[in-house]
Amino acid sequence: MVIQAISTALPAVKLIKPQVFNDARGFLFESFNAFDFARLVDSHAVFVQENHSSSVKSVLRGLHYQIEHAQGKLVRVVRGKVFDVAVDIRQGSPTFGQWVGVYLSAACRQQLWVPPGFAHGFLTLSDRAEFLYKTTDYWYPKFERSILWNDPELRIEWPLHGSPILAGKDMHGKRLSEAELYE
C-alpha cells in the first residue's frame, strides 16, 4: 500500500499518510496516485485544477466554499506548517456544523481530503508556508462564499497567538446560520 487513508472525527474528511522512502540522498514519495486515491478515499473524485499559495505567519485563509460547483480539495503543505480546518456545511448531514482541524507540515508530508460540501480554511503557523491543493471543480469567483472564521456557533479552536491576518472577504464572512449554502 502506498498510502493510508484515516477517517477523522468527520468520517468524510480523510487524513492521508504517504509511504515515504528515505535514504542518504533524501526522500521520495508518491504525492498522488489516482488508483490508490479512488480505492481508499473517493472513487468519484476527478481533479481539474491545482493551486499553490504562499502565506506568512498568522495568515488565516477561509472558511471558503462555492455555492455552485462545490469543490473537493486534496490539500498539503510543501513548506512550513499550518492548522487546516474543514467544516461540514451539507444541509441534512448528521455532522452539519461540525469541524475538524489537523496540523499539516512539509515535515509530516500528510494530506487532507476535504470533500465537496465542506468549507475549508487554514492558519499559517510557521514564518512562511506554501500550500498546494488539487480541486475537483474550477474556481468560480461569483459562486465563492466565506463563513466567518471565528463564528461563535462553530467554536473552532484555532491555535492563535494574537489576531490573524485576514483578507477582506474573510473579515466579512457570514455566520454559518446566515450563510448561503450549497444545495
* Residue 136 falls inside a structural domain: yes
Catalytic residue among 64, 65, 120, 182: 64
* Residue 119 falls inside a structural domain: yes
HSE (side-chain half, CA atoms, 13 Å) at 74? 23
pLDDT bin (cut points 50, 70, 90) of residue 29 is confident
User: Is the pLDDT at 164 greater than 80, yes or no?
Assistant: yes
Distances (CA, A) of 80 to 46, 112, 127, 172: 27, 16, 7, 27
* Residue 72 falls inside a structural domain: yes
Whether residue 64 lies in the annotated active site: yes
CB 176 within 8 A of CB 121: no
Residue-range definition of the domain harbouring residue 150: 47-178
Span 140-167, average pLDDT:
97
pLDDT bin (cut points 50, 70, 90) of residue 3 is confident
Whether residue 44 lies in the annotated active site: no
77-111 per-position pLDDT tens digit: 999 999 999 999 999 999 999 999 999 999 999 99
* Residue 88 falls inside a structural domain: yes
pLDDT bin (cut points 50, 70, 90) of residue 174 is very high
| Domain tally, the chain | 1
* Residue 110 falls inside a structural domain: yes
Which pLDDT score, from 0 to 100, does residue 1 have?
A: 46
Catalytic residue among 65, 120, 133, 182: 133
* Residue 133 falls inside a structural domain: yes
Q: Quote the Cα angle for 83-88-91, to 5°.
A: 165
For the whole model, what pTM was predicted?
Answer: 0.94
Q: Residue 160's domain is classified under what CATH number?
A: 2.60.120.10
Which pLDDT score, from 0 to 100, does residue 2 have?
A: 63
* Residue 26 falls inside a structural domain: no
* Residue 75 falls inside a structural domain: yes
